[in-house]
Homo-oligomer: A and B are copies of this chain.
Amino acid sequence: MATREALLDVTARLYAEHGWRGTTTRRIAEAAGINEVTLFRQFGSKETLLLEAIQQASCEGEATRLPDVPGAMVDELVSWAVTHHGTIRSKSGIIRTCLAEWEQRPGLAPQACSGGAVAFIDLMRYFGAAQARGMIAADASIEAAGMMLINAVFMDAMTRDVMPGAQPHSPEEMITMYVELLIRGLGQPGAA
Protein backbone atom coordinates (compact mmCIF):
# COMPACT_ATOMS: atom_id res chain seq x y z
CA MET A 1 0.00 0.00 0.00
CA ALA A 2 2.94 2.34 0.60
CA THR A 3 3.71 2.14 -3.09
CA ARG A 4 0.18 3.18 -4.01
CA GLU A 5 0.21 6.15 -1.66
CA ALA A 6 3.60 7.33 -2.87
CA LEU A 7 2.47 7.05 -6.48
CA LEU A 8 -0.74 8.97 -5.85
CA ASP A 9 1.01 11.77 -3.97
CA VAL A 10 3.78 12.19 -6.50
CA THR A 11 1.36 12.04 -9.40
CA ALA A 12 -0.86 14.78 -7.97
CA ARG A 13 2.16 17.01 -7.42
CA LEU A 14 3.51 16.45 -10.92
CA TYR A 15 0.10 16.99 -12.47
CA ALA A 16 -0.24 20.32 -10.68
CA GLU A 17 3.12 21.40 -12.06
CA HIS A 18 3.21 19.90 -15.54
CA GLY A 19 -0.35 19.11 -16.57
CA TRP A 20 -1.67 15.88 -17.98
CA ARG A 21 0.67 15.49 -20.93
CA GLY A 22 3.67 16.73 -18.99
CA THR A 23 3.11 14.12 -16.29
CA THR A 24 4.75 11.16 -18.01
CA THR A 25 4.81 7.73 -16.49
CA ARG A 26 8.58 7.74 -16.56
CA ARG A 27 8.70 10.98 -14.60
CA ILE A 28 6.19 9.72 -12.06
CA ALA A 29 8.15 6.53 -11.50
CA GLU A 30 11.43 8.37 -11.16
CA ALA A 31 10.04 10.96 -8.74
CA ALA A 32 8.39 8.26 -6.64
CA GLY A 33 11.53 6.16 -6.63
CA ILE A 34 9.80 3.09 -8.00
CA ASN A 35 9.97 1.21 -11.25
CA GLU A 36 7.79 2.32 -14.10
CA VAL A 37 6.45 -1.19 -14.58
CA THR A 38 5.14 -1.25 -11.03
CA LEU A 39 3.06 1.80 -11.86
CA PHE A 40 1.27 -0.06 -14.63
CA ARG A 41 0.85 -3.18 -12.53
CA GLN A 42 -0.76 -1.14 -9.75
CA PHE A 43 -3.02 1.13 -11.76
CA GLY A 44 -3.27 -0.44 -15.21
CA SER A 45 -2.93 2.81 -17.12
CA LYS A 46 -1.72 6.35 -16.80
CA GLU A 47 -5.30 7.60 -17.02
CA THR A 48 -6.50 5.54 -14.06
CA LEU A 49 -3.60 6.70 -11.91
CA LEU A 50 -4.03 10.36 -12.78
CA LEU A 51 -7.78 10.39 -12.26
CA GLU A 52 -7.44 8.74 -8.86
CA ALA A 53 -4.60 11.05 -7.83
CA ILE A 54 -6.45 14.19 -8.86
CA GLN A 55 -9.64 13.11 -7.13
CA GLN A 56 -7.79 12.33 -3.92
CA ALA A 57 -5.93 15.63 -3.98
CA SER A 58 -9.12 17.54 -4.72
CA CYS A 59 -11.00 16.13 -1.77
CA GLU A 60 -8.50 16.43 1.04
CA GLY A 61 -8.51 19.53 3.25
CA GLU A 62 -10.72 20.55 6.10
CA ALA A 63 -14.02 22.31 5.47
CA THR A 64 -14.80 24.96 8.06
CA ARG A 65 -18.38 25.81 8.70
CA LEU A 66 -19.75 29.20 9.61
CA PRO A 67 -21.81 29.27 12.85
CA ASP A 68 -25.49 28.47 12.57
CA VAL A 69 -26.34 31.61 14.50
CA PRO A 70 -24.42 34.65 13.26
CA GLY A 71 -22.77 36.65 16.03
CA ALA A 72 -19.75 38.90 15.51
CA MET A 73 -20.06 38.80 11.77
CA VAL A 74 -16.75 40.37 10.80
CA ASP A 75 -14.73 38.13 13.09
CA GLU A 76 -16.61 35.00 12.12
CA LEU A 77 -16.36 35.70 8.41
CA VAL A 78 -12.68 36.61 8.55
CA SER A 79 -11.61 33.51 10.41
CA TRP A 80 -13.75 31.33 8.17
CA ALA A 81 -12.43 32.96 5.01
CA VAL A 82 -8.82 32.68 6.18
CA THR A 83 -9.24 28.95 6.64
CA HIS A 84 -10.93 28.64 3.29
CA HIS A 85 -8.10 30.64 1.75
CA GLY A 86 -5.54 28.21 3.12
CA THR A 87 -7.44 25.22 1.77
CA ILE A 88 -7.61 26.69 -1.72
CA ARG A 89 -4.01 27.76 -1.67
CA SER A 90 -2.80 24.30 -0.84
CA LYS A 91 -4.60 23.04 -3.94
CA SER A 92 -3.96 26.02 -6.18
CA GLY A 93 -1.72 24.12 -8.57
CA ILE A 94 -4.23 21.36 -9.11
CA ILE A 95 -7.08 23.82 -9.53
CA ARG A 96 -5.16 25.91 -12.04
CA THR A 97 -4.32 22.87 -14.12
CA CYS A 98 -7.80 21.37 -14.00
CA LEU A 99 -9.29 24.69 -15.07
CA ALA A 100 -6.85 25.00 -17.96
CA GLU A 101 -7.50 21.46 -19.15
CA TRP A 102 -11.23 21.72 -18.79
CA GLU A 103 -11.73 21.54 -22.54
CA GLN A 104 -9.94 18.20 -22.75
CA ARG A 105 -11.31 16.69 -19.53
CA PRO A 106 -14.40 18.62 -18.51
CA GLY A 107 -15.05 16.54 -15.41
CA LEU A 108 -11.96 17.59 -13.49
CA ALA A 109 -12.54 21.32 -13.08
CA PRO A 110 -15.87 21.03 -11.22
CA GLN A 111 -14.32 18.34 -9.04
CA ALA A 112 -11.32 20.50 -8.16
CA CYS A 113 -13.55 23.51 -7.52
CA SER A 114 -16.16 21.66 -5.50
CA GLY A 115 -14.72 23.04 -2.27
CA GLY A 116 -15.54 26.52 -3.48
CA ALA A 117 -19.11 25.60 -4.28
CA VAL A 118 -19.59 24.11 -0.82
CA ALA A 119 -18.12 27.22 0.77
CA PHE A 120 -20.44 29.44 -1.24
CA ILE A 121 -23.50 27.51 -0.10
CA ASP A 122 -22.38 27.73 3.50
CA LEU A 123 -21.79 31.45 3.14
CA MET A 124 -25.23 32.01 1.63
CA ARG A 125 -26.86 30.14 4.50
CA TYR A 126 -24.96 32.32 6.96
CA PHE A 127 -25.94 35.53 5.17
CA GLY A 128 -29.53 34.36 4.96
CA ALA A 129 -29.62 33.73 8.69
CA ALA A 130 -28.10 37.15 9.36
CA GLN A 131 -30.64 38.79 7.10
CA ALA A 132 -33.50 36.99 8.80
CA ARG A 133 -32.27 38.38 12.12
CA GLY A 134 -32.06 41.93 10.79
CA MET A 135 -28.27 42.02 10.96
CA ILE A 136 -28.21 42.72 7.23
CA ALA A 137 -30.46 45.11 5.30
CA ALA A 138 -33.52 43.32 3.97
CA ASP A 139 -32.94 44.54 0.42
CA ALA A 140 -29.24 43.81 0.37
CA SER A 141 -27.96 41.50 -2.35
CA ILE A 142 -26.40 38.77 -0.28
CA GLU A 143 -25.85 36.79 -3.46
CA ALA A 144 -23.55 39.45 -4.87
CA ALA A 145 -21.76 39.76 -1.55
CA GLY A 146 -21.23 36.01 -1.34
CA MET A 147 -19.88 35.75 -4.86
CA MET A 148 -17.55 38.68 -4.33
CA LEU A 149 -16.12 37.31 -1.12
CA ILE A 150 -15.63 33.82 -2.51
CA ASN A 151 -14.08 35.21 -5.68
CA ALA A 152 -11.78 37.57 -3.79
CA VAL A 153 -10.54 34.81 -1.51
CA PHE A 154 -10.19 32.42 -4.43
CA MET A 155 -8.24 34.85 -6.57
CA ASP A 156 -5.95 35.84 -3.73
CA ALA A 157 -5.15 32.21 -2.99
CA MET A 158 -4.59 31.37 -6.65
CA THR A 159 -2.41 34.30 -7.63
CA ARG A 160 -0.28 34.67 -4.53
CA ASP A 161 2.25 32.13 -5.83
CA VAL A 162 2.10 33.33 -9.42
CA MET A 163 2.64 37.00 -8.68
CA PRO A 164 4.95 37.11 -5.70
CA GLY A 165 5.47 40.51 -4.22
CA ALA A 166 2.56 41.96 -6.15
CA GLN A 167 0.43 41.99 -2.99
CA PRO A 168 1.84 44.13 -0.21
CA HIS A 169 -0.73 42.83 2.28
CA SER A 170 -0.99 39.43 3.91
CA PRO A 171 -4.00 37.25 3.14
CA GLU A 172 -5.42 38.00 6.58
CA GLU A 173 -5.15 41.73 6.00
CA MET A 174 -6.78 41.55 2.60
CA ILE A 175 -9.58 39.32 3.80
CA THR A 176 -10.27 41.63 6.72
CA MET A 177 -10.53 44.57 4.37
CA TYR A 178 -12.85 42.63 2.09
CA VAL A 179 -15.16 41.51 4.85
CA GLU A 180 -15.40 44.93 6.47
CA LEU A 181 -16.20 46.56 3.15
CA LEU A 182 -18.86 43.99 2.34
CA ILE A 183 -20.49 44.23 5.75
CA ARG A 184 -20.67 47.98 5.35
CA GLY A 185 -22.31 47.55 1.97
CA LEU A 186 -24.76 44.98 3.26
CA GLY A 187 -25.69 47.00 6.32
CA GLN A 188 -26.81 50.19 4.66
CA PRO A 189 -30.40 49.78 3.49
CA GLY A 190 -31.89 50.89 0.21
CA ALA A 191 -29.24 52.71 -1.77
CA ALA A 192 -30.66 51.44 -5.04
The reply to whether B191 and A17 form a contact with Cβ atoms under 8 Å apart is: no
Which chain A residues numbered 142 to 156 have a C-beta less than 8 Å away from chain B? 143-145, 147-148, 151-152, 154-156
Would you call A147 and B162 a contact (CB within 8 A)? no
With A and B bound together, what is the CA distance between A131 and B10 in angstroms? Answer: 51
- A177 touching B102 in the complex, CB below 8 Å, given contacts A109-B162, A183-B191, A191-B187: no
- A interface residue count range (under 10 / 10 to 19 / 20 to 34 / 35 or more): 35 or more
Interface pick from A62-70, A83-91, A93-101: A93-101
With known contacts A21-B22, A22-B21, A143–B177 Cβ distance under 8 A? yes
Contact A181 B183 (CB under 8 A): no
A141 at the interface (CB under 8 A from B): yes
Q: Across the interface, which residues of B come within 8 angstroms of A187, CB to CB?
A: 188, 191
Q: Which of A104, A151, A183 has the most CB of B within 10 A?
A: A151
Say which residue of B104, B152, B154, B188 sits within 8 Å of A147 (CB atoms): B152
Q: Is the CB of A148 within 8 A of B178?
A: yes
Chain A interface residues (CB < 8 Å from chain B)? 17-19, 21-22, 93, 96-97, 99-104, 109-110, 113, 140-141, 143-145, 147-148, 151-152, 154-156, 158, 162-163, 174, 177-178, 180-188, 191-192
